Amino acid sequence: MDSLSVRAVMSGILFGVWPLLMNRSGLGGNIASFVIVFVMFVCILPFSIGNFGEIFDANVNLKFAVGAAVFGAVAMLLFNSILSKATPQNIGLLFVLMIITQIIVPAIYHVIMTGEVTITKIAGFMLAIIAAILLIL
């Protein structure tokens, strides 16, 4: 496995663990969002200090970065509101439902960007929808 694949697996594990821990924190959705973003900021800042010049690079489109941040902020608030209200018994199901939905978005993006609509991709979308329905029943 190449280093990007290893990083993908590691980030998948970590993205899978933090919401389960946050669910057990007892924090409300908005303050949980603040805590995670603040701690992330503190952890990420030392790795970013030397790269702030990239903001002024001619190839950088800050509109996309700001748009991504706004979507991410709304998603964080919504997701942490789920984490704060879900029980340990149903958080896994809600988390899986969110992830299935999250998987569909870049898959649709890939189809749009490549123009490749294959039978296997259509079957994958259908199976993801069926999985989501079966998991919430």
pLDDT band at 106 (very low <50, low <70, confident <90, very high): confident
The whole-angstrom separation of Cα 91 and Cα 20 is: 8
pLDDT of residue 92: 84
Whether pLDDT at 79 is above 90: yes
- The domain segmentation of the chain, as residue ranges, is 1-85, 88-137
Q: Find the largest Cα–Cα distance for the chain.
A: 50
- Cα–Cα dist 103/116, whole Å: 17
What span, in angstroms and rounded, lies between the C-alpha atoms of 72 and 64? 12
The mean pLDDT value for 2-17 works out to: 92
DSSP-assigned letter for residue 88: T
